[in-house]
Amino acid sequence: MQRLEAQANAEAAAERQQTGKPRRGQTRKPVVESPEDKAQSHLSAPELPSMRTTNQGGAYGGNAQASVDAAYQIMVACDVPAAPNDKPQAAPMAQAPRAPRAQAGIALPQDEAGQAPALPATLDKGYDSEAAAQALED
């Protein structure tokens, strides 16, 4: 309950910052600092929201993403975003293996011409979108 109250207080503070100028149109509702009656939070993973599911209506959880090395079949990057859809995760997961290399000072492989070769990507149906394909191509 304390975590939900703290979250409601933070949301109320953010809303108060936005109300500095008078608004045209309908008057704003007063800022509420207490959580809603039906507010819920997962006890072991409060950062994960309730995501819609096809069979249960909703469940607390994340959408696990992993990037695996093709040659040695080891995970080189992973993330658990709160977004229920895979499509927006294609570009971040394609870039994720580069961050540890850059941090360790390891250069990307280069071909004979000195260019970084295109890295192959195999994705499941959840990533299928024109925007995801363009992001991977870029």
pLDDT digits (tens, 9 = 90+) for 12-70: 777 777 766 555 566 666 666 777 777 666 666 777 767 666 676 666 777 888 888 87
Place of tokens 């309908």: 26
Predicted confidence at residue 32, as pLDDT, reads 65
- Residue 132: inside a domain, yes or no? yes
Q: What is the DSSP string of 82-130?
A: S-S-SGGGHHHHHHTTHHHHHHHTPPPP--TTSPPPPPP----GGG-SH
- Residue 28: inside a domain, yes or no? no
Predicted confidence at residue 129, as pLDDT, reads 86
Domain count for the chain: 1
Looking at residue 71, the DSSP 8-state letter turns out to be: T
Q: How far apart are CA 44 and CA 46, in angstroms?
A: 6
Q: Output the average pLDDT for the chain.
A: 77
Written as six digits, the tokens of 112 are 């004979």
- Residue 130: inside a domain, yes or no? yes
Predicted confidence at residue 64, as pLDDT, reads 84
- Residue 3: inside a domain, yes or no? no
Q: Is residue 72 over pLDDT 80?
A: yes
CB 117 within 8 A of CB 125: no
- Residue 39: inside a domain, yes or no? no
Domain that holds residue 137: 44-51+58-106+120-138
- Residue 78: inside a domain, yes or no? yes
